[in-house]
Amino acid sequence: RSGRSAALRARMEERLLGARFRYLNQQLYTGSSQDAARLFRADPAAFHLYHRGFERQVRRWPERPVQRIVRYLRRRPASLVVADFGCGDCTLAASVRNRVHCFDLVPLSPRVTVCDMAKVPLADESVDVAVFCLALMGTNLQEILGEANRVLKLGGTLMVAEVASRFEDTRAFLKAMTQLGFRTVSKDLSSSYFYLFEFAKTGSARPGPAPGLRLRPCLYKRR
Ligand code: SAH
């Protein structure tokens, strides 16, 4: 009997955690990056819950996108300086020899510099590679990618891995990226889970709206 009620309680707790994760996730995708920063500053426990939920989701995928970015960096010189926007648990920094600046809202690892990714404490044109691995979350995408443009050296690399179902119109997205000062070097749309893009910085972002930049929020279904 007590075994059964313990199992029932565990199931209820799982459901509650699942519901809170989906709610937090929805807030992250439907608000600005500043809203996200406020949310997690006010409630760091929410962040840990979010991360547990995130881990459970990506564990189901055949391949973690961050591993693709690790492989990419290992093929290039270890002297390249990297900025990881929305680094999570710093898997990337832990897996390569490069110097990696890790940015996130709450530190899951001592390597993390806590900040909003729309405003990172790096000098202009100071990094060779900027990475957004499942991290283009806020509605202020133009501001966030503008920040990556600012810190990247001319000709530097921008790597973006995002959930495939978030792309409404990939061509419009890539066109908008051109306006933000990024040329598409390669794209891999072969996975049904995530798309992977490599861009090169061609110059500063051109001012004005870039409507094609929009991505759908990534909302997880109840299971
Ligand atoms: N790149 C990691 C984690 C992806 S989860 C990986 O691939 O495993 C997305 C991460 O972006 C989360 O850790 C979340 O906290 C972070 N994030 C979301 N909004 C952010 C913001 N405004 N500033 C900094 N980090 C943010």
Within 6 A (CB) of ligand 1 lie 28, 33, 36-37, 54, 66, 86-88, 91, 103-105, 116-117, 133-135, 137-138
Which residue lies with its CA nearest to atom 9 of ligand 1?
Answer: 135
Mean pLDDT across the chain = 94
What does the pLDDT read at residue 172?
97
Candidate of 137, 147, 196, 218 to mutate for ligand 1, largest count of ligand atoms within 8 Å of Cβ: 137
What does the pLDDT read at residue 117?
98
For residues 96 and 133, give the distance between their C-alpha atoms in angstroms, rounded to a whole number.
15
Candidate of 87, 142, 160 to mutate for ligand 1, largest count of ligand atoms within 8 Å of Cβ: 87
The count of C-alpha atoms lying within 13 angstroms of the C-alpha of 198, restricted to the half-sphere facing its C-beta, is 12
Ligand 1 atom with the smallest distance to the CA of 86 is 11
For residues 204 and 207, give the distance between their C-alpha atoms in angstroms, rounded to a whole number.
9
pLDDT digits (tens, 9 = 90+) for 173-191: 999 999 999 999 999 999 9
Ligand 1 atom with the smallest distance to the CA of 116 is 23
What does the pLDDT read at residue 1?
63
- Is residue 221 predicted with pLDDT exceeding 90? no
What does the pLDDT read at residue 223?
60
Token pair, residue 172, equals: 């419009």
- Is residue 222 predicted with pLDDT exceeding 90? no
pLDDT (average), residues 1-12: 87
Read off the pLDDT band of 219 (50, 70, 90).
confident
Write down all domains in the chain, each with its CATH number in brackets.
1-59 (1.10.10.2150), 65-213 (3.40.50.150)
R_g of the chain, CA atoms, integer Å: 18
Ligand 1 atom with the smallest distance to the CA of 144 is 22
Task: Specify which residues 188 forms β-bridges with.
Answer: 196
Please measure the distance between the N-terminal and C-terminal CA atoms of the chain and give it in whole angstroms: 26
pLDDT digits (tens, 9 = 90+) for 28-81: 999 999 999 999 988 988 999 999 999 988 999 999 999 999 999 999 999 999
Vertex 162: Cα angle to 186 and 131 (nearest 5): 70
Nearest C-alpha neighbor of 157 from the set 181, 136, 123: 181
pLDDT (average), residues 89-112: 97
Which residue lies with its CA nearest to atom 10 of ligand 1?
Answer: 86
What does the pLDDT read at residue 156?
98
Strand order in the sheet with 182-188: 112-114, 100-104, 82-85, 127-133, 152-163, 194-201, 182-188
